[in-house]
Amino acid sequence: MLRFSVKWVSAVVLVFLVGAAFIFCEYLIYYPAILKCAWPNDGRPTDSTVHAMVLSDTHLLGAVGGHWFDKLRREWQMERAFQTALWLLRPEIVFILGDIFDEGKWSSQKNWEDDVRRFHRMFRHTTDTELVVLVGNHDIGFHYEMDWFKLQRFEKVFNASSTRIVTKKGVNFLLVNSVALHGDGCPICQSVEKELIKLSRELNCSLQTGSEKTESCDGAHPYPPTAPVMLQHYPLYRESDAGCRGEDAALPEERHLLFREKYDVLSKDASQRVGGWWFKPRLILSGHTHSGCEVLHDNKYPEISVPSFSWRNRNNPSFILASVSPRSYTLSKCFLPQESTVISVYSSAGAFLLLLFLAHCLVMKGLCSLCLLGKHKSM
């Protein structure tokens, strides 16, 4: 009877520990991390402030290069992190700055549809939250790989042109298809640049009042008279991440690696056109590098590089919380649980279970010895 009780207690403890470790690592761990985050206060009434959540580089793995366990682990992490953030923070709008998919640049139609289905499941949201998705090089290919089919396939899924302005509470959010800003006259490049020039004219017209307005502004869309917040996948040109600091910056040994124009960052010419000539953004938000960085271009235009949201690209993913009004903005960063923490919890639980198993074996061996001794004495 005693032997049976020890087995039963050991089984209950084992099930409890395994269940507790699983529930904590796969569900509960996201709550304390995101509860530390809060919307930054810009000092204005909340009814005139847009609460925007900004993340980047989700890289949903595809059918070719994605291992099933890698998919399961990283996609579950992003789903739980996103859903927990929505529930606790309730953003009005969410921006994802490109590279939604890892293999969109070459995936077949069947694989593309599977990737899209998984994306909509992971990043599901209520009608209270607007989801805005930008295009990245992994979604349609680098400049030399992109074509109209892949671009239009992406735009159809997300129900909007990849270059446009989203206006909310008097705030202009300018979305730029930065993959097409190579300036070499390619058909998609020409189309995107034509649209950007048009949007630039309309934004400039919206800043003019009364007699200042010129005839060229006739028929222009009446955007709110405020400088835009610009969002795109590629960062504006910078030599490297040497000036980047913070726990989500690139590793120290990587920060001095020189960036390649039109591959790691936009070219100098394209950066000057969108960042100074066509638009004078009060804030630029970009992705692509998978690491965080703050840069001030021409001592006028601040740019924030948003790190990857996926454990596959970094141990400590994060996202940006932005409180934006027509005249001001404030930002804060929200860090997700580190993958190394989850691994440590599982490893510690596994080591404890191993010790428990060994102790159980020793106890059972001792009980067996007592039983045999009792039988021997009775004989």
What's the pLDDT tens digit per position in 27-63? 899 999 999 999 998 666 667 899 999 999 999 998 8
Provide the pLDDT for residue 348: 86
Provide the pLDDT for residue 7: 64
Instruction: Yes or no: say if 270 and 181 are a contact pair by the CB < 8 Å rule.
Output: yes
Q: Which helix (H) or strand (E) holds 150?
A: helix 148-157
Comparing 316 with 213, the larger pLDDT belongs to 316
Instruction: Yes or no: say if 27 and 80 are a contact pair by the CB < 8 Å rule.
Output: yes
Mean pLDDT of 317-327: 95
Instruction: Yes or no: say if 333 and 304 are a contact pair by the CB < 8 Å rule.
Output: no
Provide the pLDDT for residue 79: 96
Counting residues of the chain whose pLDDT is more than 90, the rounded percentage is: 60
The band of 193, judged by pLDDT with boundaries at 50, 70 and 90, is very high
Nearest of 311, 279, 314, 315 to residue 298 by alpha carbon? 279
Taking the C-alpha atoms of residue 291 and residue 307, their distance in angstroms, rounded to an integer, is 4
Taking the C-alpha atoms of residue 117 and residue 67, their distance in angstroms, rounded to an integer, is 18
In order of 121, 134, 161, 185, the CA distances from 156 in angstroms are 17, 12, 8, 24
The band of 153, judged by pLDDT with boundaries at 50, 70 and 90, is very high
Q: In what order do the strands lie in the sheet with 229-232?
A: 164-168, 171-176, 229-232, 283-286, 301-305, 293-297
Provide the pLDDT for residue 354: 80
Instruction: Yes or no: say if 229 and 282 are a contact pair by the CB < 8 Å rule.
Output: yes
Q: Which pTM does this prediction carry?
A: 0.90
User: Which residues does residue 53 pair with via DSSP β-bridges, in sequence order?
Assistant: 94, 321
The band of 80, judged by pLDDT with boundaries at 50, 70 and 90, is very high
Comparing 259 with 214, the larger pLDDT belongs to 259
Provide the pLDDT for residue 351: 84
